[in-house]
Chain A
Amino acid sequence: MILSNNNAAISYISLSFSDGSSTIDIYQNQDVAVTFNQYGSITADLTVHYSNGDSFSNLSAVFPGCNGSPVTITKPINNDKDNSPFTNWKVPYLIR
């Protein structure tokens, strides 16, 4: 699902998971299987690579918590860099 207003042409996305399960590259219209090592919170370090050679990275909580638990965001992989207001980002009600 690529949502854009600038015709961004994505080549592939690299994902590295905090549970150490795997690092994958996924291309458009491709499926890649991953088996995680744990049920707890898992964070992904993503890098999006564009066709023109540009890229950007961000962290994302893949599984914020166990089933049924409230949404709480895990600490990013690099805790030293985290003084972020997004670490405990809460779900706003207006899109519910």
Chain B
Amino acid sequence: MKSLKCTFCAMGILMLNLSVQAQTEYAKTIDNITQYLDKSPISTGILYDRTPHYALLTFFNQFGRVDTTNTEHLLQAYYEMQQSSYNKSGFTNTSVYRNSIESMNLQNKIPIMVADYNYQTLALNSIDNGLLNYSNGYLNYVSGVTPAIYSNNRIQLAAPMTINRFGLSYTFSLRP
């Protein structure tokens, strides 16, 4: 448990000084900590632990709650999927979407955006369950057998995307 707290402590310190470069450093640090873990079960190519969880995707609409997203939250969610992906080639810079949304809003159009991603996280109870231990800055398997240490998740968000507002009448649009 102590070692798990150390890991979270290190993650917390990283989150305090976050910039785009630090974001990359954060992923590198997590990659370093997890370097001895088998990544082949990460079938989605996205390990959400590789980015700080500002959008709190693992909590959204969970536990019977009804949560509220918005334009910025959805873009942040997309950004976090991008940053935690091992392969970013399928992602677009959020500024491209932001510019597109602003342009459409200027014409009193509101695009609807849907983000639907499967992703994986390290199962938080892996250490408590005796599957992993944390020593010398690395997570390691306790036994030689590779246990299931990843949780499968899915985030589904939808929002009318608005950055500017000019009146009462709008055209909502749904495009691929």
Measuring CB to CB, which residues of chain A are less than 8 angstroms from any residue of chain B? 1-6, 8, 10, 12-13, 15, 24, 26-39, 43-44, 46, 48, 56-64, 66-67, 71, 73-74, 76, 78, 81-87, 89, 91-92, 94-95
A67 smallest CB distance to B (angstroms): 6
On chain B, which size bracket covers the interface?
A: 35 or more
Measuring CB to CB, which residues of chain B are less than 8 angstroms from any residue of chain A? 18-20, 23, 44-46, 54, 56, 59-61, 64-70, 72-76, 78-79, 81, 90, 94, 97, 100, 109-118, 154, 156-162, 164-165, 168-176
A-B interface, 9 closest residue pairs, ranked by CB to CB distance from nearest: A60-B159, A61-B70, A59-B68, A1-B113, A81-B66, A4-B116, A86-B67, A8-B116, A56-B156
Other-chain contact of A58, B64, B69, B94 (Cβ < 8 Å): B69
B170 contact set on A, CB distance < 8 A: 33-36
- Asked whether B54 lies within 8 Å of A59 as measured between CB atoms, the reply is no
Instruction: Count CB-based A-B contacts (< 8 Å).
Output: 182
- Asked whether A13 lies within 8 Å of B115 as measured between CB atoms, the reply is no
- Asked whether B169 lies within 8 Å of A35 as measured between CB atoms, the reply is yes
B174 contact set on A, CB distance < 8 A: 10, 12-13, 26-30
Looking at B18, B20, B60, B172, the one whose CB has the most chain A CB atoms below 10 A away is B172
B45 smallest CB distance to A (angstroms): 8
Q: For residue A37, which residue of chain B has the nearest CB?
A: B168
Other-chain contact of A31, B46, B60, B158, B172 (Cβ < 8 Å): B172
